[in-house]
Amino acid sequence: MSQLYDDTFAGQSCPLGADAQQIADQLRNFGDTRQIMGQWSFAPTLNYLGLPQRYQVPPSRQVISLAARYELYEQIGFVSPALIFSAPGPSMAAYVVAGLGNEQQQDAFFGQFQQALCWSCFAMTEPTQGSDAGAMQTTATPVDGGYLISGRKMFIGNGVIAQTGVLFARTAPGQLGINAFLFSPQDPAITRHRLALTGLDGANLALMQFDNLFVPAGDLLGQHLKPTQRFAQSAMATFDALRPCVGALALGVARRALHEWQACVTPTPAQSQRLSQMKRRWYAAYRAASMVCQQADEQQSPGESPGMVKTACVTLADEIVSLLIHAFPADTQPVPAALWQAFRDVKAFEYTEGTRQIHRLNQSFSPRQASQECR
């Protein structure tokens, strides 16, 4: 299987464009994100990623499958995960708007990406509650013509530069009281702060403070659906689709670490054996997650939950990068900066789309797991 790993990526050209690494390096220096990304030859492709077929320009452009998106994310992770965290496009919000929005709302939201590069955000996680929807504290109070939204959101990707997005807030107590809204992140009622990070240099994660943000009633998503369908149909569809892709980013970082290590070190026979073992495990995890994405594309029940797929990929990637750091010969040269960067970056994925503890709890309490244990 180590040979399969080598064969998979041998001589592979970068589909992200010859300028991808240069753009990633500029992002890490905390330049103007929109200006830098606007120079990237692949940015227009990401700007359309997630748009339903009827909004693709030209109309002949095909919506890529989840399996293809998974492969793309791994390739982005190899160059720099900061690229996807800083990319234009509807991103996570696309799933919510496509699933909950009426025709007018979808036209308004997706139309922005047809005109020019546009950045979006997905405001759900909170500083003290995380992504625990049942404990969500951000409120949407009904007023004449709409809602006043107050609260705070944390770890919001592209939060400091986004021009549009989806915001989750509570309109009533309980799970059925959580709703999604279209909103403008640049509204003066919102205060945005870029978060300091130890990894993912250049990413625009933000803390957002909402002080009586007025949102028109027409921007409440899912009004044509039952309350029982709204949150489950929007948030869970988003997370289930993108969790394997987060795992792909982590595997891309690990593959880059393997590449950098091998470029600097002539391995001993024992190290060569260990490298082969790492590559076998990497390839097995990569293929397993890819299979789950293919099953989702074919509307089949996945062999593994998306959360556990993400957990397996991230755990392995973290292990590989750490092993490579410790295996670097102390008497050769300083550990390459790219290897240290991978060490910092890979830690972020533990907290992206749910920690491993949450996914393991979900797995242990899932109806499917309970059914299997009863047999």
Per-residue model confidence as pLDDT tens digits over 279-333 = 999 999 999 999 999 999 998 888 788 888 999 999 999 999 999 999 998 887 7
CATH topology of domain 120-226: Butyryl-CoA Dehydrogenase, subunit A; domain 2 (2.40.110)
Q: By three-state DSSP, how is residue 22 classified?
A: helix
Within the chain, all domains assigned CATH 2.40.110.10 are found at 120-226
Which residue spans of the chain are classified as CATH 1.20.140.10? 229-368
pLDDT digits (tens, 9 = 90+) for 165-186: 999 999 999 888 999 999 999 9
Query: Which secondary structure element, helix H or strand E, spans residue 336, and what is its range?
Result: none
Strand (E) or helix (H) holding 108: helix 103-115
The confidence score (pLDDT) of residue 3 equals 62
Per-residue pLDDT reduced to its tens digit, 183-192: 999 999 999 9
Specify the CATH architecture of the domain 13-115. Answer: Orthogonal Bundle (1.10)
Residue 183 and residue 120: Cα distance in Å, rounded? Answer: 10
- Domain 229-368 sits in CATH at 1.20.140.10
Structure tokens at 174: 């309980």
110-to-47, 97, 105, 145 alpha-carbon distances in Å: 10, 9, 8, 24
pLDDT category of residue 15 using cuts at 50, 70 and 90 = confident
Closest to 99 in 3D by CA, of 89, 114, 109:
109
Between CA 215 and CA 168 the distance in angstroms is 12
Nearest to 259 by CA among 216, 202, 321, 305: 321
d(CA 204, CA 199): 12
Residue 136, CA distances (Å) to 100, 132, 153, 234 in order: 20, 7, 10, 16
- Token pair recorded at residue 209: 């403070």
